[in-house]
Structure 1
């Protein structure tokens, strides 16, 4: 798939009135990288995919590379597939679209966390502690990977 449409620099970091965020699916031999969100309360939070908010004057592809580097210390060397998107409202009530991509990285370690409690590599064949939206993205990725 061509990712050239994601190289467009977005003056306000948004498209079609939606703020944009990106998420990366990093695969290590059939396991994907999930990040553990910091929690100080009694509620067990879900895991998330590495990612970032697309900043003003930044392309989606550049935000993806930056987000993976900032959150994991890993270096993205290529974007393999656009896997899917979902929309939601931010805590401030603004519409956000989260775009997800399967990426290649230079190496799958070491993981250097900047803002998360931990990380884990998980098989997509087990029950995952992720939101329903992320579960849908990972199911789409699993289906896509099965056809490769």
Structure 2
């Protein structure tokens, strides 16, 4: 029998405020949607984007770090885990909520993806696990991302 063991403590600073996180969790529960998180990590006017080796036609090859919020897991815990698992970086603060969007999963279930800005202890080395590569993408110009992520990054720039 296989069992996952987490080797890190979920204790970043939460400049965003506990009440914001609690309200987002409450709304998701009331709306009966599964939660996912997406995380903006920025450095020198660029955002960390993860790149799939292959991508489906019509879909963006670049993605923000993110994950499914597990049963019993807090949004803060999911933010920390997403960044750590996908990039090897350690979140030290959850700074801001950027908004969300709802969609149906491939299985037809309602999902809400909440997006946050996180500060990390260091911006490298980045060690991708589920992706082929990463890029620090400048926010100026046209970004090769989905319209939903483009809106989230626009909110980040405000």
Same fold (TM over 0.5): yes
More strand by share: 1
Q: Verify: 1:66 aligned to 2:81, yes or no.
A: yes
2:137 to 122, 127, 130: 122
Give the TM-score of the pair, scaled to structure 2. 0.81
Q: Verify: 1:82 aligned to 2:111, yes or no.
A: no
Partner of 1:51: 66
The worse-fitting range, judged by mean Cα deviation, of 36-45 and 96-105 is 36-45
Partner of 1:146: none
Q: How does 1:22-33 map to 2 (within 5 A)?
A: 22-33=37-48
For residue 39 of structure 1, give the secondary structure of its aligned residue in structure 2.
coil
What CA RMSD, in Å, does the superposition of the two structures yield over aligned residues?
A: 2.0
- How many residues are paired up? 139
1:107 to 119, 122, 125: 122
List 4+ stretches of structure 1 deviating above 3 A. Answer: 40-45
Give the TM-score of the pair, scaled to structure 1. 0.86
The worse-fitting range, judged by mean Cα deviation, of 42-51 and 29-38 is 42-51
1:4 to 10, 18, 39: 18
CA–CA separation in structure 1 for the residues paired with 2:17 and 2:66: 17
For residue 58 of structure 1, give the secondary structure of its aligned residue in structure 2.
coil
Structure 1's unaligned 5+ residue stretches are 144-148
